A and B are shown apart, each in its own frame.
Chain A
Amino acid sequence: MFKNNEDSYKSDKIETIIGPSVKVEGEFAGDGDIIVEGIVIGTLKTKNHLRIGSEAKVQAEISAASAFIAGDVSGNITIEADLDLKATAKIHGDIVCSQISIEKGATINGKISMGSPKKPAINNSVMEK
């Protein structure tokens, strides 16, 4: 009932965790849920949920089915469904999504387009989950 959001990485559904102890560079793509608490440079795509924690630093084009963002993101964000921006989120880039929730304190430097994104979140044949 009082589950801490920061504990959610223990969930059975989580498949990829980019923790604070790694830096990922390149085209990262997956089918499962992704949690980011570290550094990502390049592109970041998933067919499922993406969670970017408050300490994360992402310089990447992002696409996902849904997303929760509490960290720094530099790059365009395309979300098929819901995008949830927390107070600590700092976005430098354009946002395309169906629905958005912005907490007081979040900063956005870019254009927000609402409605269904034209492209699906991901269509790739890479080996990662």
Chain B
Amino acid sequence: MYLYIYDVFLNDKKYFNLLNKIENRLADLEIKGKICRLNLLKNMSEAIDDGIKQGVNTIVAVGNDSTFGKVVNAIADKDITLGIIPIDGNSKIAEILGVPAEEKACDVLAQRLIKKLDLGKINKQYFIDSVSIDDNNVSLNFEKYQISPVGKTMISICNLGFLSGNDSIYQKKLSVPTDGWLEAVVTPLKSGLFSKKNDRMPSVFPFKKILVESRGEPVTVTIDQQAIFKTPVEITVAPKKLKVIVGSERLF
């Protein structure tokens, strides 16, 4: 049984025709289900809990990356399969999962190709892709050793790494979201025209748990280009935590 959760911004009239088209396509594919339109008085957790009580086993988030991030956190600890219908073409999470925007997403849902993905967990919040740390003045503390960046670097904690700002991470498959590990990736920023090739080599440390601490003022930590935390933060992996419907164009 499917539950479709429409994010609050879809209450705007301009989405009326688009949502009608999506609903018609879902009906054609015989995967229509209950629809829940979020509003100021009805939040996502309530809608999901009500749906589970009524026997829902697949929740489809209709909206954008903000919507998907919230749904992931709401269902991560429940035995529910997640599907998404991106409403604009700007969803990075949809790109990761290989789900096209709007009506075309319905076909991916109907194919029901399900993958179990690892999730990262920072303090108590889950993330799908990556954590970016804006400042070099941090130390990454593993169980028995500690890493300190040298020089100007970009630090990412990756489950896949697509949103980390360093394309090579997912292109070279340095981080794979189905292997039960997260990777701390420290990439040197270009130091000059005559820098050696090895000077740009990224450092890669697979781990299951780390503590990120700053060596001075608290540092900003951004997850999946959305939520923001301040150091210190503990980051762990939650292996095979999310059952999600993916498309054939997925990035992993």
Contact = CB atoms under 8 A, between A and B. Distances in A.
15 contacts: A6-B198, A10-B172, A15-B206, A17-B204, A19-B186, A23-B150, A26-B142, A26-B144, A28-B144, A37-B198, A126-B143, A127-B208, A128-B142, A129-B181, A129-B207
A103 interface: no
Contacts, number: 91
B195 to A, nearest CB: 10
A22 B203 contact: yes
B201 A37 contact: yes
A9 B174 CA distance: 11
Contacts of B199: 20-21
Interface residues of A, number: 32
A18 interface: yes
B150 A25 contact: no
A128 B186 contact: no
A25 B153 contact: no
A16 interface: yes
Interface residues of B, number: 30
Nearest to A10: B172
Contacts of A18: 203, 205
B151 interface: yes
Interface string A1-45: 000001001101011111111111111111010000111001000
Nearest to A14: B204
Given A22-B186, A127-B207, A17 B146 contact: no
Nearest to B173: A12
Q: Which 3 pairs, one residue from A and one from B, show the smallest C-beta to C-beta distance?
A: A26-B145, A19-B203, A21-B188
Contacts of B14: none
Nearest to A4: B197
Contacts of B153: 21-22
A33 to B, nearest CB: 11
B148 A25 contact: yes
Nearest to A15: B206
Interface string B130-151: 0000000000001111111111
